[in-house]
Chains A and B, each alone.
Chain A
Amino acid sequence: MAHAYTPGLKVTANSIVKKERRLPIKGKVLVKVGDEVTASNIVATTSLPGDVEPLNLAGKLGVPPSDIREYLVKTEGDSLEEGEIIAQTRGLFGLFKTVIKSPIKGMLENISDITGQLILRAPPKKVEIDAYTDGKVVEVIENEGVVIETVATFVQGIFGIGGEAKGVIKKIATSPDDIISTDMIKKEHEGKILIGGSFVDSNTLKQAANYGVSGIVVGGIDDQDLRNFLGYDIGVAITGSEDIGVTLVITEGFGKMDMAERTFELLCAQDGKKASINGATQIRAGVLRPEIVIPLPGEKPEEIEQESKGLEIGYPIRVIREPHFGAMGKVSELPPELQQIETEAKVRILGVELEDGSKIALPRANVEMIEE
């Protein structure tokens, strides 16, 4: 059996989607197994320790570190108000005291006789996580979070920016090769997840962010436009925490890329439905792909082939590198021997019959399987 180098992205009309919702540190889970939740419900909460404020008390008082306890009026564990006196010297006959006040509201956490330093800690910050998608709680991870399960249309993109967002699907392209322009973005698109065609530029993204659009899904974007929108070049593909006002998911690649027909049809069919989108992408160990999740309440999941197949004759593929980038076809040949390509490299190739009937030979590394 031949192996494709790139398993395809998941694009399913109706399947079970599970999402793990986990706190960054241990806390309290607010729901239980069996609970039905909506995307904005808070499912777990915790407190992050407050920011630390070190204070060089020995330096400020002008005394050796080992002596600082003599001058402290507070001790480890005491709460503090901003401006409250922490330490003071006796001064000369009660005059010319040096008084040290707390710069923050919080707590005195640690006193060091060796360095003469105090560690003050600000009050803890509340951290909450929501369900992200409508669904049912199927598992509770004790003190950490939950797993939510839903039946949904699930579409993975190839790259994205921006984090989690929720909205309503809104189709604004009429075909997968449409270019999304600035005038197509309207004020009433606030809170929507716009389904586009082949391309969006930085000006259009800025317009979308200004209007409060939740997300945009298109086939492609120019890297230069991405740089213009973000203000910097992306070095390594680890995204998701950009503060940009709109989440972008591209489904095909960089450049003007027609969205795959199937992806376009699936997303447009859900026009008007609630959805969740996440642009977070990590193309490194533990790959994370951007996604759109559209719950289908009341529907039953369809049977899905779990095991990924290898390449076989007749299997549908898409070309993922120049030349013929984006072209769809079927595997027509799988010659086992290495063959020489234009670069003079000897590689494993496959024969592909494209949708227009023409036949081409490509390196196996340059196709991706279409998962049905």
Chain B
Amino acid sequence: MGNKEINAILATDCGSTTTKAILIEKKNGEYRLVVRGEAPTTVEAPFEDVTKGVLNAIREVEELADKEILAGEKIITPRVGERKGVDLYISTSSAGGGLQMMVAGVVKTMTAESAARAALGAGAIVMETIASNDGRLSYEKIELIRKLRPDMILLSGGIDGGTVKHVVQLAEIIGAADPKPRFGTGYNLPVIYAGNKDARDSIKENLEKKTDLSIVDNLRPLLEMENLEPARREIHDLFMEHVMAHAPGYKKLMNWTEVPIMPTPGAVGLLIKTIAENEKIQVIGVDIGGATTDIFSVFQKIFNRTVSANLGMSYSISNVLAEAGVENIMRWVPFKVDRKYLRNMIKNKMIRPTTIPQTLKGLQLEQAIAREALRLAFVQHKSMAVGLKGIQQERTISDAFSQAATGASLVDMMHLDLVVGSGGALSHAPRRNQAAFMVIDGFLPEGVTRLAVDSIFMMPQLGVLSTVNEKAATEVFDKDCLIRLGTCIAPVGNGKEGRPCVTVSLEDKKIEVNYRDMVLIPLGVGEKKEAIITPTKSFDVGAGKGKQLKTLVDGGIVGLIIDARGRPFELPEDDSKRIELLTRWNNALAIYPEKM
């Protein structure tokens, strides 16, 4: 592929709800996005073939770009002249709802937790974690494995050279459960063993005949060391080979692409890692989809990824209601809404996931739900992105077994540099201000934080493209994909409404903001200004309580947002007061059209 001249690239992403196709072309020596097409994902009857949706999306690209890319149902490659064919076709996918797996480890807060991190890092959904010391009886563990029917099981436990008894016992339980895959009969369930190497023979004895067993390096070879990569790679490879291959139409799609189809979370995560490495910053990325909300973070150079499988804006929208509760959703809505109406609206979106809000109120309701999806997904991410226990000092086995607390989360909002949002609800928000506000409300950044959004939701495609043509991926990412929204300044602390909170001095102006107010200052894309931020004595913007901070702030399509609503952030319980505040903030940030 390195020798091939690549002038036109077609890339698709098959989501749970929609399939997106983008066309990238090289013009005047640089790669740029030409057009984007979209069509419903067709895993459902009557089609039951994901390639139909892909072809429909490509046809839309043909129509919009006035080019010929398809000959019947085949992609024309290589390109022929300016108007026909492409040089490269690649794809990502999250259709099929992703990989649902179980993990098992000997100690709940050690090997089991490491196994969960390995699985989440591979883009899987962890349905359940089993451990020798999780308090459940053996038969309960067995029933659980049978009932859940995971796509795959990851078994770990025991440091290399340590005891084998507990991990073999877990293998016996898995063997006794005789787990069956979700989709029909005819193949054995993949089980990955990534534990004490001395137990390998016993594990084989228990599981080789009943499952499709793979053995990789111990993911916790020493108490103070994690080695997740071999397990992550194996999960990913088995996912591609087994699970995705069983979703309707994937085998066909796999034959169309020149490089393997990448799961969407893997592709987006690649891009987030790239941003963090290139700019040497701490980043959070979020992809809020129809079925899942994926969060990626790089703190202290450590990459973490979580896939919140049951939080999304269409297929999983009702689960957001179930987990957040109707009150938490309603608190973001700037008008009175009947609970019954809201519940029905959410369920109707769940059963007809490809519909879009037509009215402004419908949009406001959906954006309220998006805030809760982001918030809940972030709570899960913070709990998983933890430092390794025992990493500070050497521990004996008994110390390790008696340790109760989990490690502190790596996520540090005060030192977060950038949040990048992606996914329909953010990328397709009619005003970029809405995307900025949803990200701020969902994540509650602290101090000074830049905000950006994926312009039309093409990060997955660029992620997979970066593995074959980094130049193209980087150029399109920088010039067409990333929309710089601006910067958010959010003092940490609480005070009295109406009293001074923070003063922001830019080169040409000085803005004093009271507690519970929000202010939007125009600062355009590419503009950078030195800001002197002076919080009052109860507030901290990163230099300590009441201490001044001098820093450069970046502009963007939205501008500079000063969020003096307080951290921790709370909304009043009284509906009228809450609606008044929400309306005031919406107007301050020009979130919705004037008439609202």
Given contacts A322-B359, A344-B430, contact A308 B46 (CB under 8 A): yes
**What number of B residues sit within 8 Å (CB to CB) of A?**
69
User: Which residue of B56, B138, B350, B356 contacts A54 across the interface (Cβ within 8 Å)?
Assistant: B138
Are A347 and B169 neighbours in the complex by a CB distance under 8 Å? no
Interface membership of A253, Cβ < 8 A: yes
B202 proximity list for chain A (CB < 8 A): 114
Are A321 and B165 neighbours in the complex by a CB distance under 8 Å? no
CB nearest to B142 among chain A residues:
A52
Interface membership of B357, Cβ < 8 A: yes
Interface membership of A174, Cβ < 8 A: no
Are B430 and A365 neighbours in the complex by a CB distance under 8 Å? no
Are A342 and B344 neighbours in the complex by a CB distance under 8 Å? no
Are B356 and A345 neighbours in the complex by a CB distance under 8 Å? yes
Are A224 and B318 neighbours in the complex by a CB distance under 8 Å? no
Are A285 and B16 neighbours in the complex by a CB distance under 8 Å? yes
Interface residues of A in 111-151 (CB under 8 A from B): 112, 114-115, 117, 119, 144
Interface residues of B in 438-453 (CB under 8 A from A): none
A234 proximity list for chain B (CB < 8 A): 318, 322, 347
Bound complex: CA A3 to CA B354 (Å): 12
User: Which residue of B44, B47, B164, B345 contacts A114 across the interface (Cβ within 8 Å)?
Assistant: B164
User: Which residue of A22, A49, A321, A336 contacts B352 across the interface (Cβ within 8 Å)?
Assistant: A321
Choose among A109, A342, A366 the residue with the greatest number of B CB atoms under 10 Å from its CB: A342
Interface membership of A7, Cβ < 8 A: yes
Are B353 and A283 neighbours in the complex by a CB distance under 8 Å? yes
Are A342 and B358 neighbours in the complex by a CB distance under 8 Å? yes
Are B315 and A283 neighbours in the complex by a CB distance under 8 Å? yes
Given contacts A159-B351, A223-B343, A285-B16, contact A52 B177 (CB under 8 A): yes
Give A24-45 as 1s and 0s: 1 = Cβ < 8 Å from B's Cβ atoms.
1110000000000000000000
Are A343 and B359 neighbours in the complex by a CB distance under 8 Å? yes
Chain A interface extent, by class: 35 or more
B430 proximity list for chain A (CB < 8 A): 343-346
Give B344-383 as 1s and 0s: 1 = Cβ < 8 Å from A's Cβ atoms.
1111101111111111101100000000000000000000
Interface membership of A62, Cβ < 8 A: no
Are B310 and A235 neighbours in the complex by a CB distance under 8 Å? yes
Interface residues of A in 318-357 (CB under 8 A from B): 320-323, 325, 336, 341-347
Are B315 and A237 neighbours in the complex by a CB distance under 8 Å? yes
Interface membership of A71, Cβ < 8 A: no
Interface membership of A362, Cβ < 8 A: yes
A115 proximity list for chain B (CB < 8 A): 165, 168-169, 172
Interface membership of B321, Cβ < 8 A: yes
Are B355 and A3 neighbours in the complex by a CB distance under 8 Å? no
Bound complex: CA A284 to CA B350 (Å): 10
Interface membership of B126, Cβ < 8 A: no
B142 proximity list for chain A (CB < 8 A): 51-52, 54
Are B172 and A119 neighbours in the complex by a CB distance under 8 Å? yes
User: Which residue of A3, A49, A237, A366 contacts B358 across the interface (Cβ within 8 Å)?
Assistant: A366
Interface membership of A53, Cβ < 8 A: yes
Give B328-340 as 1s and 0s: 1 = Cβ < 8 Å from A's Cβ atoms.
0000000000011
Interface membership of A92, Cβ < 8 A: no
CB nearest to A234 among chain B residues:
B318
Interface membership of A299, Cβ < 8 A: no
Bound complex: CA A346 to CA B36 (Å): 14
Interface membership of B475, Cβ < 8 A: no
Are A117 and B172 neighbours in the complex by a CB distance under 8 Å? yes
Interface membership of A315, Cβ < 8 A: no
Are A287 and B355 neighbours in the complex by a CB distance under 8 Å? no
Interface membership of B316, Cβ < 8 A: yes
Give B6-47 as 1s and 0s: 1 = Cβ < 8 Å from A's Cβ atoms.
000000000010000000000000000000000110011111
Interface membership of B572, Cβ < 8 A: no
A325 proximity list for chain B (CB < 8 A): 348
A355 CB, nearest partner CB in chain B, Å: 19
User: Which residue of B44, B143, B178, B343 contacts A49 across the interface (Cβ within 8 Å)?
Assistant: B178
A21 CB, nearest partner CB in chain B, Å: 13
CB nearest to B345 among chain A residues:
A322
Bound complex: CA A368 to CA B44 (Å): 15
Interface membership of A280, Cβ < 8 A: no
Give B115-141 as 1s and 0s: 1 = Cβ < 8 Å from A's Cβ atoms.
000000000000000000000001100
CB nearest to B182 among chain A residues:
A286
- 9 pairs, A vs B, C-beta closer than 8 Å: A7-B44, A110-B176, A112-B172, A158-B352, A284-B16, A287-B43, A362-B358, A363-B355, A366-B355
Residue ranges of A at the interface with B (Cβ–Cβ < 8 Å): 3, 5-7, 10, 22, 24-26, 49, 51-54, 65, 109-110, 112, 114-115, 117, 119, 144, 158-159, 222-224, 226-227, 233-237, 253-255, 281, 283-287, 289, 308, 320-323, 325, 336, 341-347, 362-363, 365-366, 368
Contacts beyond the supplied A65-B165, A115-B169, A254-B343: 12 A-B pairs with Cβ under 8 Å? A3-B60, A24-B180, A25-B180, A54-B138, A54-B142, A117-B172, A223-B347, A285-B97, A286-B48, A287-B44, A320-B355, A321-B348
